[in-house]
Amino acid sequence: MGELILCKGHIAANPYYIEMLSLNIYSLEELCYYVKNNSDLLDYDFESKELAGWIGRELHMNDLENELLSLIDEEVPLHIFAEHILTSCGYLTVNEIRDVVAVIENYENIGASERKKIRADKLLGSERIIDAIFAYEDLLLEDGLSSNLRGDICHNLGCAYARLFFFDEAGEYFEKAYKKNQRRASLIALLNCSLCKKDDSLFTGLCEKYHIPGPQREAIRDAVRKAYQSDEIKDFENEISRLKNDHNHHEAFKKLADEIINKWKDEYNHLCRI
């Protein structure tokens, strides 16, 4: 789970599976860790008889199981259900529990669509790009989304596709986003995509379509040009050129090129994982 967690209670032989994050939970401490770090993502699916039964069956905490089942029957708010789990374990301090419960209670007042977007944003932020794309596209199928929310979802979908170098798809979503929310960031991202594709005629056409004046066009071109000419990229290109042109370092060049390509492959495969 990214850090060492001291578990003082029973360790489950059969883990509890958190489908949203493809995560297996083996102890009450791990469950509290999950609640603390995902308090903005919890929904009423978490308040389930399956979780209560797992706690009783696998962690041998029958009193807590019965307590949680009673809360479910009473249809208590989610933050109260979560608080009972957190206070049954010494993993968090009293102040930490109070803060976590406050976050959960606050998000209970947010609409389901907004919570789903937050969940997708978190997937994107943790570089689970494919999962984020699926989550955003499913969300766009829902009725009743406000124009701004739909536009923001499209913008983030554009960001996700751009991270995978799918600039055609990214551009389509940035343009949809701008039409929905009229945010300048979406328009600039759309124009940047056309430059990343090295399609100058597309860039010019978009600038004319959206009435981008000459000075702003040059500013956008300059920003992308500077990104391509950063010191890090220049140093990399100079080193590659030096090794390539130096016959005494032919094997070193080949080895370095293979290492770089394999690293890029690993990074890209990591972004594409599900």
Q: Please tell me whether residues 100 and 42 are part of one structural domain.
A: yes
Q: Please tell me whether residues 159 and 176 are part of one structural domain.
A: yes
Last residue of a domain, one of 54, 84, 108: 108
Say what the pLDDT of residue 40 is: 79
Kindly indicate the confidence band of residue 236, based on its pLDDT and cuts at 50, 70 and 90. Answer: confident
Kindly indicate the confidence band of residue 274, based on its pLDDT and cuts at 50, 70 and 90. Answer: low
* Among candidate residues 72, 30, 75, the one with its CA nearest the CA of residue 52: 72
Q: Please tell me whether residues 169 and 98 are part of one structural domain.
A: no
In a domain, 201, yes or no: yes
Structural domain boundaries enclosing 136: 112-228
Q: Please tell me whether residues 97 and 117 are part of one structural domain.
A: no
Kindly indicate the confidence band of residue 267, based on its pLDDT and cuts at 50, 70 and 90. Answer: confident
Tell me the torsion sign for CA atoms 267, 36, 53, 13.
positive
**Structurally, how many domains does the chain consist of?**
3
In a domain, 235, yes or no: no
Please report, rounded to a whole number, the percentage of residues in the chain having pLDDT higher than 90: 60
- Determine how many CB atoms are found less than 10 A away from the CB of residue 188: 17
Q: Please tell me whether residues 95 and 126 are part of one structural domain.
A: no
pLDDT, tens digit (0-9, with 9 covering 90-100), for 17-72: 998 777 899 999 999 999 999 887 788 889 999 999 999 999 999 999 999 999 99
Q: Please tell me whether residues 186 and 206 are part of one structural domain.
A: yes
pLDDT at 249 over 70: no
Kindly indicate the confidence band of residue 229, based on its pLDDT and cuts at 50, 70 and 90. Answer: confident
Q: Please tell me whether residues 47 and 102 are part of one structural domain.
A: yes
pLDDT at 152 over 80: yes
Q: Please tell me whether residues 119 and 201 are part of one structural domain.
A: yes
Read off the pTM: 0.68
The widest CA-to-CA distance across the chain, in whole angstroms, is: 78
Say what the pLDDT of residue 173 is: 97
Report the alpha-carbon distance of residue 218 to residue 200 in Å, rounded: 12
